[in-house]
Chain A
Amino acid sequence: MGAVSTTAPARSHEGTPDPNENYLKATRGIASWLFTLDHKRIGIMYLVLVLIAFGLGGTFALLVRLELFTRGKTLMDADMYNRMFTLHGVVMVFLFIIPSIPAALGNFILPIQLGAKDVAFPRLNLMSLYIYAFGACFAVYSMVDGAVDTGWTFYTPYSTSTNSAVIPMVLGAFIMGFSSILTGVNFLVTVHKLRAPGQTWTRLSLFTWALYATSIIQVLATPVLAITLLLLTMERFLGLGIFDPKLGGDPVLFQHFFWFYSHPAVYIMIVPGMGIVNELLSTFSRRAIVGYMFVAMSSLGLALLGFLVWGHHLFVSGMSEYATMVFSALTFLVAIPSGVKVFNWVATLWKGSIRLDSPMLYALSFIFLFTIGGLTGLFLGVLAIDVHLHDTYFVVAHFHYVMVGGTVMGFVGGLHYWWPKITGKLYNEKMAKFAWFFVFIGFNVTFIAQFIMGSRGMPRRYYDYLPEYESFHRISTMGSWLLAFGFLTMALMFVQSLRNGKKSSRNPWGSAALEWQTATPPPLANFVKVPTITRGPYDYHLATEEELSET
C-alpha cells in the first residue's frame, strides 16, 4: 500500500475548505451537510435515514409480534394488523435494507477502499439521496393516509381492489427505485474509472467486489419493478386490464413481473453483507481471505443466478409444471456460490490469528445464521417440500435468517467496524458485546419458533391462529423482546460513543486494509496524497509494522 502519509500539511486559504482537513470539520453549518458533495457526508446522511427506517420497521415488527402473543384480538383489529405487517415489510425492504449497506456504508467506504477522492459523480450521488428521501415522503404520506394492507408484495387483484392508500406507497417505492439505480450506476463507474494507481482488479477489496456485483443488479433489475408498479398504478387509476382477470388481465403475470425484480433484490440485500463479512474476517483473523478470486466471482455468480430463479416464488401459484421444474433446477444452483463463500470463510478462520472483537462476533453470527438461512432454502427448493411449506411461517423464518441473520448482521458488524473510521470515536466494547448477545439469542428464539410452527402448517400473514400454534407464537414474541432489547442497548452504546467516546487511533483494529491507512476520521479528500497501491487489502504478510500498528 506504500506511502500513505497521515499528517496534514499546512492549511489552505480561508474560505475554501482544506482537502486535508478532517471531513467532519472541513466545513461547518447545516448547509454544508445538505449541499455537500462529499461521499462520506452523503453516506452519513443515508445512514441516519436508514437507521430511522430501521427503528420504524422494527417498531411495526414488535407490534405485529405483540398482537400475535395471544389468540384473537390482543391490541388491534384485523385491518390494523394487516397494515402493520405490510408496513413492516415495505419499510424494511424499500426504506431500510436495500439502501442500508450500499448507500450508507458503501458510499462512505467504497471510494476510500479504491484510493479515490470521491465517487465518479458526486452530484448524482447527492441527487440519489434526495430521491430516496422524496420517495420515503410518499411512503410516510401513505402511512398517514390510512396506510396499505396488501403485504409488501402488492399482489393483484387484491392491491387493485382494496381501498387502502396503495397508490402513494407504490409511487414511493417507484421513486426510491431511481435512487437505487443511480447509486448503482455511480458505483459501477467509480470502480471502473477511479481506482488509485496500482489498484488492480485483483487487489480490490471483496466488499468492493460485492458492491460491484450489487450495482449490476440494481441497474438491471430495478427498472422492471418500476414498470410493474407503474402498471399497477395505471390499473388502479385508469382501469387498464393488465393484471385483473375481470378486465382481461392475468394476476399471475404480476407475480412474474414483481419477482423478476424482487428476487434479484434479495441479492441486492445479501451480497453487500457478504462483502462486509470478508472485511471483518480478514481483519480479525489477520489473514487473507482464502480463495479470493472464487469469493469475488461467487458474488458475480449470485448476481447472475439471481436473475434466473424468480419462478420459485410461484411454485403453487398455478404456473405450469414444466416451468416449476426449470425454476427448481436453477434455484438449486444458487447453493454453489453460497457454499463457496461459506467454505472459504471457514477456511480463512483456520490457522488465522483470531480476536473476538464485537464486529467479529457479528461476522461469525452471519456465517452461522446465513448457513441456516441457506440450508432452509434447500427445503424450499425441493418442489415436493415447497408445496407444503409455501406461504407458511417456515418461509418467513427462512428469509429472516437470510435478511436479518445475513444482511442485518453484516450491516451492524460493518457499522461497529467502521464506526471509529466514520466518527473518529471508539465505543464501549463491553456494552457492544452485551448487545450482540441479546441480538443473537433474541433473533434465534424469535425465528426458530417460526420454523417449527411453519413446518407444522401455520400460514403466514394470519391475524388469528388455531390453539395448537399458541405456544410457538408466544415464544417467538418473547424472542422479539430480547432482540429489541439488544438493538436498544446497541443504539444507546452508539449515542454514548458520539457524546463522550474516546478518540480513536488511526487503525484501532490493526487492519491492513487501505481505508485504515489514511487518517481517522479521513481528510476531506480521503488521502493527503493519492496513494500508490502495492499490495491487496488482505496481504498481512506484505504490510509493514507501521501500517498494522493499532496506536
Chain B
Amino acid sequence: MTIEPNYQLPQQLSTGAAEVDDLYMFVYWFSVIFTAIIVGVMLYSIVKFRRRPGVKAAPVGHNLKLEVAWTVIPLFFIVFLFHYGFKVYVHNAVAQEGALEIRVRAQKWRWEFEYPTGMRVNSEVKIPVNKPVKFVISSEDVLHSFFVPGARAKKDAVPGMYSNVWFTPNTKGPMQVFCAEYCGTSHSGMLATINVVDDAEFQKFLKEGEGPEPGEDPVAWGKRLYTKNACNTCHSIDGSKSPGPTWKGIWGRPESFVDGSTGKVDENYVRESILKPQAKIVSTFVTTQMPPYTISDKQIDAIIAYMKTL
C-alpha cells in the first residue's frame, strides 16, 4: 500500500517515514497558524490604525507580564518539539538487530553496493520488502551523501570513516537514491535505485546475480548497463565534452595514451579499462578519476556489444 500524505512530501516507502511526516505536518500546521496570527494582526493594524489627522499613536507603556509571557511560553513549546524530534531521530539512527547489511561505496560519480555474499552491483540494488536493511556507507574520494527520500533517510559518505543508514522498506517497487552532498561535475547524475522486491525474488537474485531481462538482446542490455553502472556520468554518447572519452564512434578508434603508447579500442582495451582504469589513460585526459569496476564478463560483453552500435 502506498500513501501520498500530501503534495509536500514524497511517497512513504518505509515503516519509519510516517512518523517523520507526522512530525513535519505538526510543525507545518503550527507554522501556518502562527503566521496567520502575525499577518492577521499586522493587516488589521495597518487598516485600523492608519494615520489620520488629529489621531496620535497610543503611548507605549511597560507591560512586563506580556514580555515575560511571550518569552517563556514558546520555551515550553520548543522543549516539546526538541524532545519529539530527538526521539524519532534516535529510533531512526540505531539499526534494528539482524538487519541485512549492505556496504555502500560512494565515488565520483556512482554508488557501488556490496552484499554480505561479496556480490557487487552498481547504481541499482535489490532488497527484500518488510525486512530491515542497514547501509554501511563510506567514500573513496570526496564527500557524498546517501539520500533516500522515500525512507526520509540521509547520511553523508565521508572519506576515512563509516556511517550508516537503516530502514525497513514496506512497499515493493523502486526507491530513488540521490547524492545530496555536492561532489563536482556529475553530482546531479550520481543517482541510484533501490529495488524493493519480495523475498523469493531477492534470494534468486543473490544466488544468480545480475543478468539481462527476459528477451533482452546484448545491445539493449549493454545500453541499460551504461546508465545503470553510471558510465553516463562521465562518458557521453553524443560526442559532447565529458569528464571521460566520449563513446560516440569509440569502437576501433585509434587512441594515444599518457604513457606515450598508442592503441586501438578493441575488446581487450575495453575490458582492461573497466577492470583497471588506470592502466591506459587516453592522453587528452592526463589523469582519471574512474573507479575500478567489479562486473561480470557477461556484462562486459554486453557493454562491448552496445559500444559497437555507437
Contact = CB atoms under 8 A, between A and B. Distances in A.
B187 A463 contact: yes
Contact of A461 (B70, B71, B149, B187): B187
Interface in A328-385: 328-329, 332-333, 335-336, 339-340, 342-344, 346-356, 364, 367-368, 371-372, 375-376, 378-379, 381-385
Given A151-B182, A245-B160, A340-B70, A382 B154 contact: no
Contacts of B85: 328, 381-386
B42 interface: yes
A339 B31 contact: no
B154 A349 contact: no
A371 B19 contact: no
B88 A364 contact: no
Interface stretch (A24-32, A98-106, A172-180, A283-291): A283-291
A329 B78 CA distance: 9
A109 B124 CA distance: 60
Which range contains the number of A residues in contact with the other chain?
Answer: 35 or more
Closest 10 A/B residue pairs (Cβ):
A245-B160, A457-B149, A382-B85, A383-B89, A384-B88, A462-B188, A351-B58, A287-B57, A349-B45, A375-B31
B51 A350 contact: no
Nearest to A462: B188
B84 A382 contact: yes
A64 B198 CA distance: 42
A127 interface: no
Contact of A457 (B24, B87, B89, B176): B176
Interface string B182-201: 11111111000000000000
Query: Which label, helix, strand, loop or mixed, suits the secondary structure of the A interface?
Result: helix
A541 B163 CA distance: 62
Interface of B: 7-10, 19-20, 23-24, 27-28, 30-31, 34-35, 38-39, 41-42, 45-46, 49-52, 55-60, 63, 66-67, 70-71, 74-75, 78-79, 81-82, 84-90, 92-93, 141-143, 145, 147, 149, 152-156, 158-161, 163, 176, 178-189, 241
A294 interface: yes
Nearest to A456: B10
A350 B45 contact: yes
Given A82-B182, A245-B161, A371-B38, 15 more contacts: A82-B184, A150-B182, A151-B182, A251-B159, A316-B155, A332-B82, A336-B78, A339-B70, A351-B45, A367-B42, A368-B39, A384-B85, A385-B27, A387-B152, A456-B8
A384 B23 contact: yes
A391 interface: yes
12 contacts: A151-B182, A245-B158, A251-B159, A287-B58, A288-B60, A290-B63, A332-B78, A335-B78, A346-B41, A455-B24, A456-B8, A540-B57
A149 B182 CA distance: 10
A318 B181 CA distance: 13
